[in-house]
Chains A and B, each alone.
Chain A
Amino acid sequence: MEFFERFAVPHPSPAIYASMVAIGLVMIALVVGLTYFKKWGYLWREWLTTVDHKRIGIMYLISALIMLFRGGVDAIMMRAQLSAPENTLLDSQHYNEIFTTHGIVMIMFMAMPFIFALMNIVIPLQIGARDVAFPRLNALSFWLFFMGAMLFNISFVIGGSPDAGWTSYFPLAGNEFSTSVGTNYYMIALQISGIGSLMTGINMITTVLRMRAPGMTLMKMPMFTWSSFIANVIIVFAFPVLTVALAMGTMDRLFGTQFFTMENGGMDMLWANLFWVWGHPEVYILILPAFGIYSEVISTFSRRNLYGYKSMVASMVVISLMSFLVWAHHFFTMGQGALTNSIFSITTMAIAVPTGVKIFNWLLTMWKGKIEFTTPMLYAVLFIPLFTLGGVTGVMLAMSAADYQYHNTMFLVAHFHNVIIPGVVFAMLAGLTYYWPKLFGFMLNEKIGKWTAWLLSIGFLLAFMPMYITGLDGQARRMYTYSEATGFGPLNMVSFVGSGIMAIGFALIVYNIYYSTRYASRDISSDPWDARTLEWATHNPVPEYNFAVLPEVKSSEALWDAKKKGHVLFKGKYEEIHMPNNSGAPFLMSVIFFIWGFALIFSLWIPAIIATLGIFAFMTHRSFEQDHGHHISVKEIEETETKMRGAK
């Protein structure tokens, strides 16, 4: 019995017990459902073992949406708790656990997989390739992310959630002040999914550098590919820092090392430093692909080529370097001198310049364009003013002297939600709507889509604008309650209402998917948006091999020029296509990673050692494995192509 006590939740509540029951029931329902409908084989063959970049993209997408709801429920609980002074809906411990979980889930398990989803789906199609450079590695990336996310998500019912904030600053996150296994979950779950992200970075860089269709020089790549390429470069240079920091933190917590402690030569502030050495580049990892989506959407629906292509590329290259020069702006108040703060203030303000360049590029693209307000375009148009507001408050925060007033208040919380929601989340939803027909062969409903965009924007303004005000008035972040005398009550109530409206917006997305799946017309062309880039030059949904004949490219808007200037994209006839084989190894190896992580979290050394050996066994097996892939015959290609063309 003693053995099992460690798995108990240290700070339980009826809601947590109810969740345990709910999780149990859902698992049983899944198993029963899969067995009853005889879907195990289908699941294994078509999804768990797939190495197809489109299917991996879809799995990222589903995970991101599920995590969006998980994080969203956390958000609503926090706003409900704060909606009135001295509220007792949540106690302080639960509030701490919830804001920690919310932050991690939203950044690492919602935003990251969402951008990976779009990268996976779009990049190979946009550059005219048949898959990514390392399809098997791609599957491993996904499954590592997925297992990391699942590991993190079970913390609240097994052993207790982390509660030291998504930044997990030491010494609070050390053993002395965080005694439950919660922070172990943080360290190890992030480690596992972080390895996945790093591998995706390497994979996508190689894909972009080596797999482009003939004729597509770097400066002829569509903007989404460019922006994702830069984001992946940042991933490859930033994530190792997180990996190392997490490893050090793990060793402090599990093996008694003293990296981030306050005695024996340890330095607690070093954690904050390393965290943000990764953390600031991370915000650019998120925003750059989002910028890429907006670039595609804005030029498609303005019916114009992107204004200032070269300056767009240049500004992103500058951002990729500069994003590594600003990290200390996250801890201006930690005690370093005025010199350091001034340097980082200036670099931070400077990075707003290339960001501003891009805003002007979009505005000038729309200028004199024939704008068509589809749902993706609506998101893009709403994004511009809302995001600019976030950029402006960013520059306010960048003034180190003034930051002593803003830091750790609701003002900061408003700033980063202001850049992340209209910036990243809107872009992902725009991308989801824009690429939906590419994936599933039908469009999402436009009317519901526009309602969603408006509800999210209005909800966003109501939820976050009040925080700028209460923040300036001194409402601290991460406080679970406040007294009536502070006068924060009414504005927090407004916030709560706003978050409720946003929740309706997010629910509408699911409704839209349901509604469109049932009623939308399947009779759409391969180019329903009248788009400009290569991904729309093949069928919807895309066949396994993407392009029956690899395209030849002459401009950055290959499809548009094919339509308007008569460029010929596809020359030559069908040839046998070489494709990679499916494999169960990535999934199984990630399951072992899950077990490994779980064992480490609870200091179960023997299972941890066995799992480590298992991981090495998989790597050894892979090193000696002979796998030459398979070939799709010309006959099969002809059949598929005729069928796909007939379907329209």
Chain B
Amino acid sequence: MKELFPAKQVIGFAFSLLLTVIALAVYFLDMPFAVGMTILLVTAFVQAGVQLKVFMHAGETEDKAAIYTNVYYGLIIALVTIFGTLLAMVWDM
């Protein structure tokens, strides 16, 4: 029975619904812009992680290393690009 019930996926699904509800709350509740933005960013990244790990099965095959290298590489480049852009276009303008 235990093998048949995809506990990990069901918990993952519930968790990702929870994340969605929290993100949605930013719209309905009245809060400062910075707080709302922080909540959105954090829930978005966690959500992406859940999707990758639980539903797209990253880490379950032999090319685990390649997949995670790829994800981290992408993350680093995205962060560098975003913060570099903010630096050049906004903070230091």
A residues near B (Cβ < 8 Å) are 209, 233, 237, 241, 267, 269-270, 273, 277, 321, 324-325, 327-328, 331, 335-337, 339-340, 343-344
User: B92 is contacted by which of A233, A277, A325, A340 (Cβ under 8 Å)?
Assistant: A340
Residues of A within 8 A of B66 (CB): 209
Give the residue name and chain of the A residue nearest to B74 (CB).
Answer: A237
Q: Which segment, of B9-17, B51-59, B79-87, faces chain A?
A: B79-87
In the bound complex, how far is the Cα of B79 from the Cα of A56, in angstroms? 36
The answer to whether A273 and B77 have CB atoms under 8 Å apart is no
With known contacts A209-B66, A237-B73, A237-B74, A336–B88 Cβ distance under 8 A: yes
The answer to whether A269 and B89 have CB atoms under 8 Å apart is yes
Check if B34 is an interface residue, CB within 8 A of chain A: no
Please list 24 pairs of residues, one from A and one from B, whose beta carbons are closer than 8 Å in the complex, sorted by A's number.
A209-B66, A233-B73, A237-B77, A241-B81, A267-B89, A269-B89, A270-B85, A273-B88, A273-B89, A321-B73, A321-B76, A324-B80, A324-B81, A325-B80, A325-B84, A328-B84, A328-B88, A336-B87, A336-B88, A336-B89, A337-B92, A337-B93, A340-B88, A343-B87
In the bound complex, how far is the Cα of B66 from the Cα of A324, in angstroms? 20
The answer to whether B81 and A277 have CB atoms under 8 Å apart is yes
Give the residue name and chain of the A residue nearest to B87 (CB).
Answer: A340
Closest 6 CB pairs of A and B: A337-B92, A340-B92, A336-B88, A336-B92, A340-B88, A324-B77
Residues of B within 8 A of A339 (CB): 87, 92
A243 CB to closest chain B CB (Å) equals 14
Residues of B within 8 A of A327 (CB): 84
Give the residue name and chain of the B residue nearest to A277 (CB).
Answer: B81
Residues of B within 8 A of A237 (CB): 73-74, 77
In the bound complex, how far is the Cα of B86 from the Cα of A267, in angstroms? 12
The answer to whether A335 and B84 have CB atoms under 8 Å apart is no
Give the residue name and chain of the B residue nearest to A339 (CB).
Answer: B92
Give the residue name and chain of the B residue nearest to A210 (CB).
Answer: B63
Residues of A within 8 A of B80 (CB): 324-325
With known contacts A237-B73, A237-B74, A336-B93, A277–B87 Cβ distance under 8 A: no
B residues near A (Cβ < 8 Å) are 63, 66, 73-74, 76-77, 80-81, 84-85, 87-89, 92-93
B8 CB to closest chain A CB (Å) equals 27
Residues of A within 8 A of B73 (CB): 233, 237, 321
Residues of B within 8 A of A337 (CB): 92-93
In the bound complex, how far is the Cα of B74 from the Cα of A80, in angstroms? 46
In the bound complex, how far is the Cα of B87 from the Cα of A325, in angstroms? 13
B54 CB to closest chain A CB (Å) equals 24
User: A335 is contacted by which of B81, B85, B93 (Cβ under 8 Å)?
Assistant: B93
Residues of A within 8 A of B89 (CB): 267, 269-270, 273, 336
In the bound complex, how far is the Cα of B93 from the Cα of A337, in angstroms? 6
Give the residue name and chain of the B residue nearest to A270 (CB).
Answer: B89
In the bound complex, how far is the Cα of B19 from the Cα of A146, in angstroms? 44
In the bound complex, how far is the Cα of B51 from the Cα of A629, in angstroms? 34
Q: Classify the interface of chain A: helix, strand, loop or mixed.
A: helix
Residues of B within 8 A of A336 (CB): 87-89, 92-93
Residues of B within 8 A of A321 (CB): 73, 76-77
Give the residue name and chain of the B residue nearest to A237 (CB).
Answer: B77
Total residue contacts A-B, CB cutoff 8 A: 43
Give the residue name and chain of the B residue nearest to A274 (CB).
Answer: B85
In the bound complex, how far is the Cα of B93 from the Cα of A584, in angstroms? 52
The answer to whether A277 and B88 have CB atoms under 8 Å apart is no
In the bound complex, how far is the Cα of B42 from the Cα of A209, in angstroms? 33
Residues of B within 8 A of A340 (CB): 87-88, 92
In the bound complex, how far is the Cα of B78 from the Cα of A277, in angstroms? 11
In the bound complex, how far is the Cα of B89 from the Cα of A335, in angstroms? 9
Residues of B within 8 A of A277 (CB): 81, 85
In the bound complex, how far is the Cα of B50 from the Cα of A229, in angstroms? 29
A578 CB to closest chain B CB (Å) equals 23
In the bound complex, how far is the Cα of B74 from the Cα of A267, in angstroms? 26
A518 CB to closest chain B CB (Å) equals 49
Residues of A within 8 A of B88 (CB): 273, 328, 331, 336, 340, 344
B64 CB to closest chain A CB (Å) equals 13
In the bound complex, how far is the Cα of B84 from the Cα of A209, in angstroms? 31
A628 CB to closest chain B CB (Å) equals 24
In the bound complex, how far is the Cα of B93 from the Cα of A237, in angstroms? 27
Give the residue name and chain of the A residue nearest to B76 (CB).
Answer: A321
Residues of A within 8 A of B92 (CB): 336-337, 339-340
A523 CB to closest chain B CB (Å) equals 45
Residues of B within 8 A of A269 (CB): 89
Give the residue name and chain of the A residue nearest to B66 (CB).
Answer: A209
Residues of A within 8 A of B74 (CB): 237
In the bound complex, how far is the Cα of B66 from the Cα of A344, in angstroms? 30
The answer to whether B85 and A273 have CB atoms under 8 Å apart is yes
A215 CB to closest chain B CB (Å) equals 18
Give the residue name and chain of the B residue nearest to A234 (CB).
Answer: B77
Known: A277-B81, A336-B93, A339-B87. 14 other contacts (CB 8 A): A209-B66, A237-B73, A241-B81, A269-B89, A273-B85, A273-B88, A277-B85, A321-B76, A324-B81, A325-B80, A336-B89, A337-B93, A340-B88, A343-B87
Residues of B within 8 A of A331 (CB): 88
B76 CB to closest chain A CB (Å) equals 8
Most B C-beta atoms less than 10 A away, residue of A241, A270, A324, A331: A324
In the bound complex, how far is the Cα of B93 from the Cα of A325, in angstroms? 19
B45 CB to closest chain A CB (Å) equals 18
Give the residue name and chain of the B residue nearest to A334 (CB).
Answer: B88
A194 CB to closest chain B CB (Å) equals 17
Residues of A within 8 A of B85 (CB): 270, 273, 277
Residues of A within 8 A of B77 (CB): 237, 321, 324
In the bound complex, how far is the Cα of B76 from the Cα of A8, in angstroms? 47
In the bound complex, how far is the Cα of B31 from the Cα of A295, in angstroms? 59
Most B C-beta atoms less than 10 A away, residue of A209, A270, A335, A336: A336
In the bound complex, how far is the Cα of B83 from the Cα of A343, in angstroms? 13
In the bound complex, how far is the Cα of B69 from the Cα of A321, in angstroms? 13
A288 CB to closest chain B CB (Å) equals 16
Residues of B within 8 A of A267 (CB): 89
Residues of A within 8 A of B93 (CB): 335-337
Give the residue name and chain of the B residue nearest to A325 (CB).
Answer: B80
Residues of B within 8 A of A324 (CB): 77, 80-81
Give the residue name and chain of the A residue nearest to B93 (CB).
Answer: A336
A533 CB to closest chain B CB (Å) equals 24
In the bound complex, how far is the Cα of B89 from the Cα of A331, in angstroms? 11
In the bound complex, how far is the Cα of B73 from the Cα of A209, in angstroms? 16
In the bound complex, how far is the Cα of B80 from the Cα of A273, in angstroms? 13
B90 CB to closest chain A CB (Å) equals 9
